[in-house]
Structure 1
Amino acid sequence: MLHDAALAARFAEAMLSQGVYVVAFSFPVVPKGRARIRTQMSAALSDDDIDFALQAFARAKAGG
């Protein structure tokens, strides 16, 4: 949970720029101050796919 709507939107954009699609949820979908990122995983993803996504999360968190 990122709490801040603008931060969640920027985080989702950073993820997409790395090839990972996530959705930023903010008010009114979730309560104010509770913005978050939603992912949708699939059993069809390989270990490499998941590692790629986790690395993208780490880079997005670091600001890139």
Structure 2
Amino acid sequence: MLMTDSSFKDSLDANVKLFRSSMTDLGFTIAGKDHPIAPVMLGDAKLAATFADKMHERGVYVVAFSYPVVPQGKARIRVQISAAHSTDQINHAINAFADVGRELGVIA
């Protein structure tokens, strides 16, 4: 399918660009570059766990990773973008990150 139809890759690329650029504009640090796995760096393990819980309350499934899965002090929220996500779903996730980020003092 990928050899004959680029729509899946095009959709994935657009979703990744929208998520990463919007999150960076909000003030979040996103590890890596142009990849569908977008780690939102938070540093603190307890903060990452609380953040993930609050995202779940808003209907966004994300996973908090902390030591020993990642190096100490490098706790993060793992986000995986898909070609199957709609623009509305990506925007919902971005808005939830903005709300929770402000609530927890991660962004202004």
TM-score bracket, shorter-length normalisation: over 0.9
Q: Please, what is the CA RMSD of the aligned residues?
A: 1.0
Q: CA deviation at 1:63?
A: 1.3
Aligned-residue identity in percent: 59
Unaligned runs of 5+ in 1: none
Alignment-derived partner of residue 49 in structure 1: 89
Q: CA deviation at 1:8?
A: 0.2
The one-letter amino acid of 1:27's match is Y
Alignment-derived partner of residue 34 in structure 2: none
Deviation readout 1:33-63 (Å, 9 max, x if unpaired): 1100001111011111110000000011011
Unaligned runs of 5+ in 2: 1-40
The one-letter amino acid of 1:47's match is T
| Equivalent position SS for 1:13 | helix
Alignment-derived partner of residue 18 in structure 2: none
1:20 counterpart = 2:93:
no
Q: Which structure features the higher share of strand residues?
A: 2
Whole-angstrom distance in 1 between the partners of 2:87 and 2:60: 15
Q: TM-score, normalised by structure 1?
A: 0.95
Alignment-derived partner of residue 48 in structure 2: 8
| Equivalent position SS for 1:36 | strand
